[in-house]
Structure 1
Amino acid sequence: MAGTDSEVDLWTIPLIALNVTVRKKLGLYLNPKNTVAADWMAVAEAMDFTYLEIKNYEAFENPTKRVLENWQAQSSDASVGKLLSILTEVERNDILEDLRPLIDEDVRKYLENVKKAAEPPVQVHEVDSCVPRTPERFGITREDDPNGAPELFDAFICYCESDFEFVHEMIRELEQTDYKLKLCVFDRDVLPGSCVWTITSELIEKRCKRMVVVISDEYLESEACDFQTKFALSLCPGARNKRLIPVVYKTMTKPFPSILRFLTKCDYTRPCTQSWFWVRLAKALSLP
């Protein structure tokens, strides 16, 4: 693969890796009607959109753009590899030949960004000279036994301080009811004194089955939440194991984070579905 590691599995790279330039060029190839070659409708059909959905997309000036965005938001199979497979299936090899170098470059940049997000800041001895009494990755939570098995959780809760009241409600609804789920709430469960980046990555990767991301305007400004989200995404490309669950609990004035648009969210702001909110969230967290 030009510009990227030859062993990269493009089926594990989510569609969000593709930037604006590639998407615009796809539109230039697929939007025109009355051509011999397959157009955006054939691509949309291969993505399993229904006839009525495809007819609705005709009203848009750039239907290809709308199809890609909705496929990315609705399907857990929306990956770069799947898109290339669909273009091959509809015999648009001209698109593959022309855009493959640009696609490979987007994938390379995406993987670099994911890798950077997963790397904790370098700390020198003068900055962090404390020596933990127990190994750094043991004895990090309240119920950890340094000499036994580490404490495990059903979900890591990614939140910012301004959303802590909702986190308390989450604890009441998911831990103190018949669901009996075990949540990892950093301010409650993590012992002080260790490197926050190291402990966070340990909890998300090895101690928690899933991560609930509490989305709000304040979340978008939080460096800690940004690190946690990108690190968790790097562990489950294409959302294959439903590791991340975005939760919206109040109305936002800022756009929903684009990096999470391809994931199905749990929305507490809709009165008509609010009664199902905790049941859906608990079920998702209870999965193996």
Structure 2
Amino acid sequence: MACADSQTDLWTIPLVALNMTVRKKLGLYLNPKISVAADWMAVAEAVDFTYLEIKNYEGLEDPTKRLLENWQARCSDATVGKLLSILTELERNDIVEDLRPLMDEDVRKYCENLKKKAEPPVQVPEVDSCVPRTPERFGITREDDPNGAPERFDAFICYCESDFEFVHEMIRELEQTEYKLKLCVFDRDVLPGSCVWTITSELIEKRCKRMVVVISDEYLDSEACDFQTKFALSLCPGAQSKRLIPVVYKTMTKPFPSILRFLTKCDYTRPCTQAWFWERLAKALSLP
């Protein structure tokens, strides 16, 4: 199966590409038990969920939503193409016909974001034809050495501007104490003048062992944070090889992001666990 532009194989597009609108519509189709049509339980069986897992989902208000979240969290083959194939095999062509245009649009946006990381910054030829310049991937952070290895970090910090005061505290607690961790903080460590999407993708994929996601109401409205989180998850379904660590440092009025709900979080808002907060986070970031 391919995208609407017939250039992208949907079997290579992870489920994280599908936004909440599509997921809610899938729930509207699959949640009700209809004797003449396959429901969410048939999809769960098709992706090898156990009987006990399925029974535990039965009491949920939106079992389809939880099924998709857990499937994409633990299986590398949880792709848009796989989902469409299962729906077709289950003879739910009504769902495919109704939601395929929306899915194609989500995939198109997802592909565009990924392509941006490969696009070179716009440069006038006359300006670019002087002294040989440092390759972009070796000159994007303050301590990059043109003649040596690129600068590497223990963790990339995903945050929005309104949460920067907490990021400052994180720097003090993790870098300037006995933990001696090296954090990648975009506004501090990245040099200006290059494509933001290219730099961000390079840092997350190749320079940082972990990714800390600072969760807040403002985070939920940030397009940059949304891209960074989805990009990191697309590299490692289920956070198996590049651990993502959600951090909540203040009370939220909006729901916790469902895409990260399967991950164990560090919660700074709980007074009873604050004494262990920084040590837990430091230990998680120090793992090989």
Between the aligned partners of 2:194 and 2:98, the Cα distance in structure 1 is 42
Identity of counterpart residues, as a percentage?
Answer: 61
Following superposition of structure 1 onto structure 2, how do residues 143-154 of structure 1 map, counting pairs within 5 Å? 143-154=143-154
Show structure 1 runs of 5+ residues with no match: 61-65
Q: Name the CA shift for 1:124/1:141 in 2 (closer, same or farther; >3 Å).
A: closer
Q: Name the CA shift for 1:100/1:41 in 2 (closer, same or farther; >3 Å).
A: closer
What residue is the counterpart of 1:67 in the other structure?
Answer: 63
Between the aligned partners of 2:63 and 2:154, the Cα distance in structure 1 is 34
Aligned-residue offset at 1:253: 2.2
What residue is the counterpart of 1:20 in the other structure?
Answer: 24
* CA RMSD between the two structures: 4.1
Between the aligned partners of 2:64 and 2:211, the Cα distance in structure 1 is 26
What residue is the counterpart of 2:49 in the other structure?
Answer: 47
Between the aligned partners of 1:135 and 1:6, the Cα distance in structure 2 is 29
Farther off after superposition, 3-12 or 141-150: 3-12
Following superposition of structure 1 onto structure 2, how do residues 142-181 of structure 1 map, counting pairs within 5 Å? 142-181=142-181
* Number of residue pairs matched by the alignment: 273
1:9 is aligned, of 3, 11, 29, to 11
1:109 is aligned, of 92, 105, 129, to 105
Aligned-residue offset at 1:151: 0.7
Between the aligned partners of 2:89 and 2:201, the Cα distance in structure 1 is 41
Q: Name the CA shift for 1:6/1:254 in 2 (closer, same or farther; >3 Å).
A: closer
What residue is the counterpart of 1:63 in the other structure?
Answer: none
Q: Name the CA shift for 1:202/1:37 in 2 (closer, same or farther; >3 Å).
A: closer
Between the aligned partners of 1:154 and 1:174, the Cα distance in structure 2 is 11
Show structure 2 runs of 5+ residues with no match: none
Following superposition of structure 1 onto structure 2, how do residues 258-277 of structure 1 map, counting pairs within 5 Å? 258-277=258-277
Given residue 146 of structure 1, which amino acid in structure 2 is its aligned partner? P
What residue is the counterpart of 2:207 in the other structure?
Answer: 207
Between the aligned partners of 2:123 and 2:7, the Cα distance in structure 1 is 34
Q: TM-score, normalised by structure 1?
A: 0.71
Given residue 117 of structure 1, which amino acid in structure 2 is its aligned partner? N
Q: Name the CA shift for 1:222/1:38 in 2 (closer, same or farther; >3 Å).
A: closer
Between the aligned partners of 1:199 and 1:40, the Cα distance in structure 2 is 40
Between the aligned partners of 1:133 and 1:15, the Cα distance in structure 2 is 36
Given residue 68 of structure 1, which amino acid in structure 2 is its aligned partner? T
- Could you give the per-residue CA deviations for residues 171-209 of structure 1, whole angstroms, max 9, x where no partner exists? 233333444322111222223344433322321222112
Q: Name the CA shift for 1:222/1:112 in 2 (closer, same or farther; >3 Å).
A: same
Aligned-residue offset at 1:55: 6.5
Aligned-residue offset at 1:149: 0.6
Between the aligned partners of 2:11 and 2:257, the Cα distance in structure 1 is 25
Between the aligned partners of 1:12 and 1:240, the Cα distance in structure 2 is 15
Q: Tell me, yes or no, if the aligned pair for 1:114 and 1:231 is still in contact at 8 Å.
A: no
Q: TM-score, normalised by structure 2?
A: 0.71
Q: Name the CA shift for 1:244/1:112 in 2 (closer, same or farther; >3 Å).
A: farther
